[in-house]
């Protein structure tokens, strides 16, 4: 029997506000433990939460960017459970009346088609603190409350995802949107973007869903893909051997590439949700939504579309160039300086991105600005240097921080020193002057001067004379 997977993701994104969700504490990552805390986020008796307006604005931005409906009225709720990193004994979240519902994100599937992944809901909630294990004598567990009360949005997808690859595409697209909106730094290693994956399998063609498991603890795209691949395989083997999938929460272990059971449904929490009595329902007026709507930047999908139309780029180029906002900005800066959009795209994709990767730096840190990059492309277009030499010059620019012109002058590269280029010219000239070739070969070797002159004429003086001499001799003495 053939099986197919059904996947839905729950993604937590930490919002880039300066202060926490319900108090004025700072949100700087990596501060010493318990230095960004106050009675509110420590859950002291008698304190009252006050909602962070910026967090609401950011959440609305994400909801609008994914075309969710924004509920005029949403309600904060207490999600009760005991854990040492949760000082209040509950987390303030949103439950049956979330901020936004019914959106979507479009992804590209393996066969190049667009697939729409539904978004069930987006809600606002606070983060918990963090346990640090193996502290002190190596046996103590300590708790850092800096993260307690940090603002999060949770984005829950519909079970519309069918493969691990699609899950990765979806998470990448979601992350791109967050980055474009500048509401989350998207750093998965630091936990600013976290993903739980719900997955089940069913026989192909079946309408009903199978029993799902939820996999936690995946902090990279690769882990998400590996965890899902493993989990789908595990579930299929269970079914094939006549066993059942148990609904449970599982943990992905990067060291083994496997998932293992964390808790079964029987042990699942009963969170005893109830409306948070210390906060009023969140009311979002239509004018507020409209004001935020006009602040929305162009989003990745729109930008890709525009790049294809405006610059005549293929979908592939446009997809890569808009994969980061900074890269897209860099590209457009280049186009403003040099009106050959496809040439720029080629050079960015094949050369600049390769160099960035080799040096392990991002486009934000590129040592070559758009002005210098396009100056190089202009030199290539003018024929001052060949494309091949241009690539070498670019590497040199990367390594030394010098501009193209300086490197060309210093290295005498403006001359044509490209053997194959010169040989093409030389062969043409030899072909056009058969009598002189014969006379040379019959002993009139002084004719070498004539041939050198011809090559210089043809290259407008840019050929490297020593090289031309050498190549001519090789050809004529053959």
Nearer to ligand ADP, 20 or 115 (CB): 115
CA distance 331 to 343: 11
SS3 content of the chain, % helix, strand, coil (to 5): 40, 20, 35
Binding-site string for Zn ion from residue 27 to residue 46, where x marks contact by CB under 5 A and - marks none: -----------x-xx-----
Nearer to ligand ADP, 79 or 147 (CB): 79
- When asked if residue 334 is in the footprint of Zn ion (CB under 5 A), the reply is no
| Binding-site ranges for ligand ADP (CB under 6 A) | 6-10, 156-159, 198-200, 209, 212
Query: Which stretch, 21-29, 185-193, 303-311, 328-336, contacts Zn ion (CB under 5 A)?
Result: 21-29
Nearer to ligand ADP, 246 or 280 (CB): 246
Angle, helices 448-458/465-476, rounded to nearest 10 degrees: 130
Encoded tokens for 131? 């346990």
Instruction: Tell me the CA distances in angstroms from 395 to 211, 359, 412, one per residue in order.
Output: 54, 11, 16
- When asked if residue 425 is in the footprint of Zn ion (CB under 5 A), the reply is no
- When asked if residue 23 is in the footprint of Zn ion (CB under 5 A), the reply is yes
Nearest to 93 by CA among 142, 158, 22: 22
What does 23 bind: ligand ADP, Zn ion, none (CB cut-off 5 to 8 Å by kind)? Answer: Zn ion
- When asked if residue 426 is in the footprint of Zn ion (CB under 5 A), the reply is no
At 98 the three-state DSSP class reads coil
What does 228 bind: ligand ADP, Zn ion, none (CB cut-off 5 to 8 Å by kind)? Answer: none
Nearer to Zn ion, 25 or 77 (CB): 25
Encoded tokens for 62? 């994400």
Q: What is the DSSP letter of 296?
A: P
At 355 the three-state DSSP class reads helix
| Exposed/middle/buried for residue 261 (C-beta within 10 Å: 0-12, 13-18, 19+) | exposed
**Degrees, nearest 5: CA angle 247-258-237:** 60
Minimum distance of ligand ADP from residue 30's CB (angstroms):
31
Minimum distance of Zn ion from residue 77's CB (angstroms):
20
- When asked if residue 25 is in the footprint of Zn ion (CB under 5 A), the reply is yes
Question: Which residues have C-beta within 8 Å of that of residue 332, sequence separation ≥ 6?
Answer: none
Largest CA-CA distance found in the chain, in angstroms, rounded: 108
What does 328 bind: ligand ADP, Zn ion, none (CB cut-off 5 to 8 Å by kind)? Answer: none
Minimum distance of ligand ADP from residue 212's CB (angstroms):
4
Nearer to ligand ADP, 6 or 376 (CB): 6
Minimum distance of ligand ADP from residue 216's CB (angstroms):
12
CA distance 213 to 235: 9
What does 41 bind: Zn ion, ligand ADP, none (CB cut-off 5 to 8 Å by kind)? Answer: Zn ion
CA distance 236 to 3: 7
Nearer to ligand ADP, 157 or 464 (CB): 157
Q: How many CA atoms lie within 13 A of 204 on its CB side?
A: 4
Minimum distance of ligand ADP from residue 237's CB (angstroms):
17
Minimum distance of ligand ADP from residue 268's CB (angstroms):
8
Contact footprint for Zn ion (CB under 5 A): 23, 25, 38, 40-41
């Amino acid at each position: 029997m053939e099986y197919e997977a059904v996947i839905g993701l729950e993604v937590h994104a930490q919002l880039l506000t300066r202060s926490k969700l319900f108090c004025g504490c700072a949100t700087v990552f990596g501060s010493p433990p318990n230095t960004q805390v106050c009675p509110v986020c420590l859950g002291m008796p008698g304190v009252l939460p006050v909602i962070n307006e910026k967090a609401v604005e950011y959440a609305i931005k994400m909801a609008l960017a994914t075309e969710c409906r924004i509920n005029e009225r949403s309600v904060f709720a207490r999600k009760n459970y005991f854990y040492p990193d949760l000082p209040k004994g509950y987390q303030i979240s949103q439950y049956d009346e979330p901020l936004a519902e019914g959106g979507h994100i479009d992804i590209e599937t393996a066969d190049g088609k667009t697939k729409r992944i539904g978004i069930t809901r987006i809600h606002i909630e606070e983060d918990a603190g963090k346990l640090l294990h193996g502290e002190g004598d190596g046996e103590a567990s300590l708790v850092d409350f800096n993260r307690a009360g940090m603002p999060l949005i949770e984005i829950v997808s519909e079970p519309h995802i069918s493969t691990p690859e699609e899950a990765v595409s979806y998470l990448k697209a979601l992350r791109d949107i967050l980055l474009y909106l500048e509401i989350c730094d998207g750093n998965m290693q630091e936990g600013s973007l976290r993903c739980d994956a719900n997955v089940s399998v069913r026989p192909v063609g079946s309408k009903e869903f199978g029993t799902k498991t939820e996999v936690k603890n995946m902090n990279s795209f690769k882990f998400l893909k590996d965890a899902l691949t493993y989990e789908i395989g595990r579930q299929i083997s269970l079914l094939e051997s006549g066993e059942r999938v148990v609904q449970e929460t599982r943990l992905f272990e990067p060291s083994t590439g496997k998932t293992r059971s964390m808790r079964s449904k029987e042990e699942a929490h009963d969170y005893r949700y109830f409306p948070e009595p210390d906060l009023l329902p969140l009311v979002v007026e239509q004018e507020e939504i409209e004001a935020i709507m006009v602040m929305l930047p162009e989003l990745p999908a729109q930008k890709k579309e525009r790049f294809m139309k405006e610059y005549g780029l293929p979908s592939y180029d446009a997809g890569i160039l808009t994969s980061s906002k900074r890269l897209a900005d860099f590209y457009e800066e280049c186009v403003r300086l040099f009106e050959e959009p496809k040439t720029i795209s080629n050079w960015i994709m094949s050369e600049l991105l390769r160099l960035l990767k080799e040096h392990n730096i991002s486009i934000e840190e590129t040592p070559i600005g758009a002005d210098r990059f396009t100056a190089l492309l202009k030199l290539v277009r003018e024929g001052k240097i060949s494309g091949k030499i241009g690539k070498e010059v670019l590497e040199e620019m990367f390594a030394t921080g010098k501009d193209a012109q300086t490197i060309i002058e210093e290295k005498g590269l403006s001359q044509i020193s490209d053997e194959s280029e010169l040989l093409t010219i030389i062969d043409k000239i030899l072909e056009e002057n058969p009598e002189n070739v014969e006379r040379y070969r019959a002993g009139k070797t002084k004719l070498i001067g004539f041939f050198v002159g011809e090559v210089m004429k043809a290259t407008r003086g840019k050929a490297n004379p020593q090289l031309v001499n050498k190549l001519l001799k090789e050809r004529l003495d053959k």
